[in-house]
Structure 1
């Protein structure tokens, strides 16, 4: 149902988008990130990079986020490849396949570390509402074994001040099945920072 609602929103927004000719797939961005996992909130930082493969529609993407909540530390790292194409003169559709690794560490007196890795498949839309405002909508499926599997979505925005410099913000919400207690875990991440395109 969530994926259907997101698809309907995308269809409704397409006529409002400006031309997407200047979308860049080569950039590096860094800033603040906060992830909520059940009753914990991990405040920290994120760094992400994307590099286009020449004049092709393929690109590589990497991301690293880390944060802490008291005696708990969490890191999320991913690396993968993507492909984009013109949906119309107004927007790009993109798909990504990435390796993903999650780790939660308890640094108290009885410290322990739980980590696992898996994959994420993403499909989304990028488009320009104006010459300076970009919107991003995406859905994804993630499977990280002991850290669960499930669907999620991302809503993002980029404000371009020049061809090189921008501000970005995003909100990601995902539900993963908890393999330990047969319930569900909600992982929600908010991020904001500065992007440099090249």
Structure 2
């Protein structure tokens, strides 16, 4: 846990290169998602798809919706979130971001279906390095019904081929004390910016 948070904090606080490109808050992503739930009784692996859309509202605010659907062995995990965000420029090509999300977690475990609601707060940095690479890091706090409050870390990269098309990669880590479990989620896919 400490290693994952340290990596996110280092990325979020690092002074990135000065020759920065432009950050876009208007995009859609579609990709592959892979999750691993590590518990005291074993690991559960699954994969599926991920979708996210984001849109800017003026110079300071943006909204996003995202979902990923992973089949974990015989079970499934389908979290989705609706996010409102605020951004403030720290330097050219570098923004501080703060987000508040409503989360719904649909899951099927041992044949039983569950739906849990909750909230997530996140804060971090997005930074463009040159015209073709963007890095980001956030620290998250998540509170979902019937689960412990958890602190997590999210790091991501976006590589642009041109003004519209690029590829992205993302890693999100959470530690759930009620299960003595860690949940890792990796995503990789295509982003179209507009």
Q: Same fold (TM over 0.5)?
A: yes
- Given the alignment of the two structures, is residue 192 of structure 1 paired with residue 177 of structure 2, yes or no? no
Query: 1:127–1:15: structure 2 CA closer, same or farther, 3 Å change rule?
Result: closer
Within the candidate set 50, 53, 67, 2:70 is matched to 67
Aligned to 2:55: 51
RMSD: 1.8
Show structure 1 runs of 5+ residues with no match: none
Aligned partners of 2:104, 2:165: CA distance in 1, in Å? 29
Query: 1:173–1:123: structure 2 CA closer, same or farther, 3 Å change rule?
Result: same
TM-score by length of 2: 0.89
Aligned partners of 1:40, 1:5: CA distance in 2, in Å? 24
Within the candidate set 91, 94, 99, 1:91 is matched to 94
Moved over 6 A (4+): none
Aligned partners of 2:60, 2:112: CA distance in 1, in Å? 43
Aligned to 2:17: 16
Q: Considering fraction of residues, name the structure with more strand.
A: 2
**1:155-185 CA distances to partner (integer Å, 9 max, x unpaired)?**
110000111111000111111221xxxx422
Show structure 2 runs of 5+ residues with no match: none
- 1:90 Cα offset (Å): 4.1
Aligned to 1:42: 46
What is the number of residues matched between the two proteins? 188
Select the structure with the greater relative contact order (CA < 8 A; seq sep ≥ 6): 2
Aligned partners of 2:45, 2:99: CA distance in 1, in Å? 27
Query: 1:149–1:131: structure 2 CA closer, same or farther, 3 Å change rule?
Result: same
